[in-house]
Amino acid sequence: MNFWNNLARTILTHRVATLIFIAVITCLLALQFKNVQFSYTEANLLPEDNPVNVQYNQFLDIFGEEGNIVVLAVKDSTLFNNVSKFNNWLKLADDISNFKTEIEGVISFSNIKELKKNQEKKRFELQPLFSKKQFNQKEIDSIKLHIFSDLPFYDNLLFNKKTGTVQTIIYIDKEVVNTKVRSDFIKNTFNPLITKFNKDNNLQVRVSGMPYVRSMNAASVKSEMGMFVVLGLGVTGLIFFLFFRSFRATLITLSVVIVGVVWSFGTIGLFDYRISILTALIPPLIIVIGVPNAIFLIHKYQQEVHKHGNKAKSLQRVITKVGNATLMTNVTTAAGFATFIFTKSQILKEFGVIAAINILGIFILSICLIPILYSFMPLPKAKHLKHLEKKWADNIINGMMQIVRHKKPYVYLATFILAIVALIGADQIKVSGSLIEDMSKKTQFYKDIIFFEKEFGGILPLEILIDTKKEKGVMKLSTLKRIERMEEEILKIPELSKPISINNLVKYSKQAFYNGNADFYSLPTSQEQNFILSYAQNSGGNTNALDNMVDKKGQYARITTFMKDIGTERMEQILNRLQLIIDDHFPTERYTVSMTGKALVFVKGTNYLINNLTISLGLAILLISLFIGSLFKDYKMVLISLVPNLFPLLLTAGLMGYLGIPLKPSTILVFSIAFGISVDDTIHFLAKYRQELLASNGKIRKSVYKALKETGISMFYTSIVLFFGFLVFVISSFGGTKALGGLVSITLLFAMISNLIILPSLLLTFERNMAKKSKKNHK
């Protein structure tokens, strides 16, 4: 207690110096805003040394960035029946290709090339199909017939033969694909260009591809973060005002959390972290956590003023009486987030570091600024203290006390039944991981993703890397036939697109050898191989499409397929099926074959994340148990305090199972966040209970009732603020953020009821054993 007395004296005596110190820190952190940048790629949930990451990085070293494709598509019969529309479609591709800084290349009808046999030079040459850029209707009809009938190489690449949909493939420069340059280009140049084209030609161009999806997603994260900061301030400020009926108290509270938000952005910039879907939650999270701090401190100040009317004494007691409990609650909440630091996932580490630092920061701001700001102001007026005597609040607390006094057996029975029901529901939870699952279903770019899944098989690249273990091993006919059998099996899986590999080019080469006859679009026989390969070898750089399919030494080949947005369970089934096919067709003594790609990395990352978050939740429970154990030095008290905090988590897990909400990177955070925050009420209650226990010389029953009466209303206030504070997230366009907000809100509501009813009931039930323990401690 001496520490808190000294701290209170220091803060209030040196209040101007303290304000100046906080102002300097705030200004320094505000200067770090220039370093705050948004993440322009998907979060890699796996550690760098994970085998899945190692394989993916090996693939990137050989073939470069695989997620740099943006695709445009039009499904409209008038495209080929309207001269102006068709010519403008060709011009659009040429216009896009002119942006040399951002665009590496464009493949479209405007620059489509045909593989021709030069018999004189005995080599293949890629020749432009068109010699001009403007065509009449007769020429367009001829072009359509030729492309759709005679060029199977481009089927599912530039067109869908069955539906007539046409596509343009844009390669974003690999140097800028994961940078702000790409994002700015998509937003300021590319999107306006497409919008103008749609308007001028009365067409709907569908746009997708991972760079485009990332850009649109990042824009949504950016806009929502600002929205949630404003909404968080507005909603929590309004509820605070409704409870306290004081503009002064509300403004003080909002001032504290606004400074806390500045600190949160500043620390993100200071650590040079990128704002991701997780770190974007921290500023509004600080608001939601900071307001309850203010509620406990201001409520205590007003209680003291109401008792004796001495401002200096009231402010002193705010720090000495509530400071320790507030510190404990913030430390436990910070500890809950800090456990993410011990995972090997970089994005979770960053989230844990920034969240933990800023939760402790908001405590420092609360314990310093609130008493200091009140010290400069006159005492609260009588009307501002009326809420302390509200009958409805007293009725709620009295109702809780009656239940605790007389209905404990019913409390335990209801708890047991709900726990069984929740366990049954929790058993039904499924795991899900997808790059696009949490995106807003209402946005046009999400609808376009579904369009491309239907027309071209998906946008999420899945790569199969084949190492033949020797130079030029790829071009052996035996290897090509193995690749062919692999592709035939891929075609049987409806969730995967038609694969692209060296075989497409080899088949096209055979077709070209037979003067473009589409009937010969197939792998060469052993007799044909020597003739065709002799032409291919003489072609030199004329067939640079080979570079994207085979490495320069001819040792590595890739099979690229695109995956639909499917759940983790189905994707694991597909991966297992593909692995069986690989094992069957590629003997390990001659080949090393691995599967990789963004889609696979993300799914494996989801499973890794869930395992790590389970560990971090267990670690959080252990740390918080140690905090409570150090407060009471009694393991039974630890168990008693854990029950009302683990029970709400079980109820939420059951609710997720019954509602079909899967475990995924966003929803798994619910348990760590909710546990770290809900235990705050437990600590406030137990801290007050301990004070009363010491004051009453170990009278447990009296101490429980007094603690419930003293802290119950503050616990109710803070829980309501937290409920609505997190509930604002349900308006998010991201499914994960929406689920996170709704589930945390419900969990904290469960936790409030649990801490106001189950916790005191358990204390009273075990009062005899604790009384004995208490007497021993007093001796």
Spatial distance between the Cα atoms of 375 and 371, rounded to a whole number of angstroms = 6
Q: How far is residue 443 from each of residues 446, 450, 684, 725, measured CA to CA in Å?
A: 5, 11, 44, 25
Name the one residue in this structure whose structure tokens are 């309004």.
Answer: 238
Residue 265 banded pLDDT, cuts 50, 70, 90: very high
Spatial distance between the Cα atoms of 687 and 779, rounded to a whole number of angstroms = 21
**Three-state SS at 646:** helix
pLDDT reported for residue 434: 65
pTM of the complete model: 0.76
Q: What is the DSSP string of 104-159?
A: EEEESTTS-EEEEEETTTTEEEEEES-S-S---HHHHHHHHHHHHHH-GGGBTTTB
Q: What is the pLDDT of residues 583-628, one digit of tens each?
A: 999 999 999 999 998 778 877 777 777 777 777 778 778 877 887 7
Mean pLDDT of 342-350: 79
**Three-state SS at 433:** coil
pLDDT reported for residue 602: 75
> Does the pLDDT at position 167 exceed 90?
yes
Tokens of 139: 């020429």
CA 378 from centroid of its chain's CA atoms: 46
Q: What proportion of the chain, given as a percentage, has pLDDT over 70?
A: 93
Mean pLDDT of 274-293: 84
- As to burial, measured by CB atoms within 10 angstroms (0-12 exposed, 13-18 middle, 19+ buried), residue 113 is middle
Residue 419 banded pLDDT, cuts 50, 70, 90: very high
> Does the pLDDT at position 475 exceed 90?
no
| Strand pairing report for 69-74 and 206-208 | antiparallel
- With a CB cutoff of 8 Å and minimum separation 6, the contacts of 236 are 257, 287, 288, 291, 721, 724, 725
pLDDT reported for residue 483: 94
Name the one residue in this structure whose structure tokens are 């429980």.
Answer: 704
Tokens of 243: 């409870």
> Does the pLDDT at position 99 exceed 70?
yes
pLDDT reported for residue 775: 47
> Does the pLDDT at position 399 exceed 50?
yes
Mean pLDDT of 189-218: 89
Mean pLDDT of 166-186: 87
- With a CB cutoff of 8 Å and minimum separation 6, the contacts of 35 are 269, 270, 272
CB 47 within 8 A of CB 345: yes
pLDDT reported for residue 779: 45
Residue 190 banded pLDDT, cuts 50, 70, 90: very high
Mean pLDDT of 420-425: 94
Residue 734 banded pLDDT, cuts 50, 70, 90: confident
Mean per-residue pLDDT of the chain: 84
Spatial distance between the Cα atoms of 297 and 366, rounded to a whole number of angstroms = 8
**CATH architecture assignment, domain 390-427+634-779:** Up-down Bundle (1.20)
Query: Which CATH entry fits the domain spanning 1-49+227-388: 1.20.120.530, 3.40.1050.10, 3.60.21.10, 1.20.1640.10?
Result: 1.20.1640.10
Residue 384 banded pLDDT, cuts 50, 70, 90: low
Residue 387 banded pLDDT, cuts 50, 70, 90: low
Q: What proportion of the chain, given as a percentage, has pLDDT over 90?
A: 28
> Does the pLDDT at position 209 exceed 90?
no
Of the candidates 413, 397, 409, 325, the one whose C-alpha atom is nearest the C-alpha of residue 705 is: 397
> Does the pLDDT at position 441 exceed 50?
yes
Q: What is the pLDDT of residues 449-460, one digit of tens each?
A: 889 888 888 778
pLDDT reported for residue 547: 65
Q: What is the pLDDT of residues 4-25, one digit of tens each?
A: 888 888 998 999 999 999 999 9
Tokens of 567: 């759940």
378 vs 23, more confident: 23
> Does the pLDDT at position 771 exceed 70?
no
> Does the pLDDT at position 496 exceed 50?
yes
Annotate 391-416 with b (16+ C-beta within 10 A) or e (fewer). Answer: eebeeebeebbebbeeebeebeeebe
- How much helix, strand and coil, in percent to the nearest 5, is found in the chain? 70, 10, 20
548 vs 172, more confident: 172
Q: What is the pLDDT of residues 641-660, one digit of tens each?
A: 888 888 998 998 999 899 88
> Does the pLDDT at position 218 exceed 50?
yes
* Eight-class DSSP state of 189: I
Of the candidates 295, 265, 280, the one whose C-alpha atom is nearest the C-alpha of residue 228 is: 280
Mean pLDDT of 49-69: 84
The single-letter code of the amino acid at 257 is V
Q: Where in the chain is the domain with CATH 1.20.1640.10?
A: 1-49+227-388, 390-427+634-779
> Does the pLDDT at position 778 exceed 50?
no
Residue 117 banded pLDDT, cuts 50, 70, 90: confident
Tokens of 160: 């869908």
> Does the pLDDT at position 72 exceed 90?
yes
- With a CB cutoff of 8 Å and minimum separation 6, the contacts of 107 are 157, 158, 168, 169, 171
pLDDT reported for residue 617: 77
